[in-house]
Chain A
Amino acid sequence: KAGVTQTPRYLIKTRGQQVTLSCSPISGHRSVSWYQQTPGQGLQFLFEYFSETQRNKGNFPGRFSGRQFSNSRSEMNVSTLELGDSALYLCASSWGTGEKKNIQYFGAGTRLSVL
């Protein structure tokens, strides 16, 4: 079974640009969550989508947005990039059964560098 796939793996952008990251969850998983990981802040929750609906949102500015498609694939978009947006962006999917329900399986991440 294929794992969570994130593309691209690496991105270099300049301030003011926008970026779109993609995440394909494990087949059958309907929930996709996004996290920003930085050395100083650790993993911070961005948002979670389930069946194309955003169910939860973290404390990030409106420049960060996302969506989920009918096949559960998800994208996140960051507009007007700032230097502080440089981070590893991780996507995680879930929707198991029994006690493994809601265990999140993480992708390899997209490393974004903003210059």
Chain B
Amino acid sequence: ELKVEQNPLFLSMQEGKNYTIYCNYSTTSDRLYWYRQDPGKSLESLFVLLSNGAVKQEGRLMASLDTKARLSTLHITAAVHDLSATYFCAAGSLPGGYQKVTFGIGTKLQVIP
């Protein structure tokens, strides 16, 4: 059974600093997702990573995937307050040929001015 672990679970950082959120998954997965959730809101898709070495960037966020290590990272560059949210990674597996997505428990990011 696919398990997804994120760390840290909570992250408080100052504006302008850099930090990385880690996402480990337990078995082979053919795709890795990152989502953002603001308080009281639903989930918003950030990135989908499909192959080993894949790197995606959007603004101050960059996601990468290492399928051999079963590890994805979400790197935050020069954080700003607007990035405060909970970030989820999710891995897709194909039981019976159909995709099932397993989510990590989330990393709550607080950016302090």
Contact = CB atoms under 8 A, between A and B. Distances in A.
Interface of A: 33, 35, 41-45, 48, 50, 55-56, 90, 92, 99-100, 102-109
Nearest to B30: A102
Contacts of A104: 33, 43, 45, 101
B48 A109 contact: no
Contact of B43 (A45, A56, A102, A106): A106
B103 interface: yes
Contacts of A109: 42
A106 B35 CA distance: 10
B61 to A, nearest CB: 16
B96 A55 contact: yes
B45 A102 contact: no
Contacts of A35: 103
19 contacts: A41-B105, A42-B88, A42-B103, A42-B104, A42-B106, A43-B88, A43-B90, A43-B103, A44-B103, A48-B100, A90-B42, A100-B48, A102-B99, A102-B101, A103-B45, A103-B48, A104-B33, A104-B45, A106-B44
B42 A55 contact: no
Nearest to B49: A99
A108 B44 CA distance: 10
Contacts of A55: 96, 98
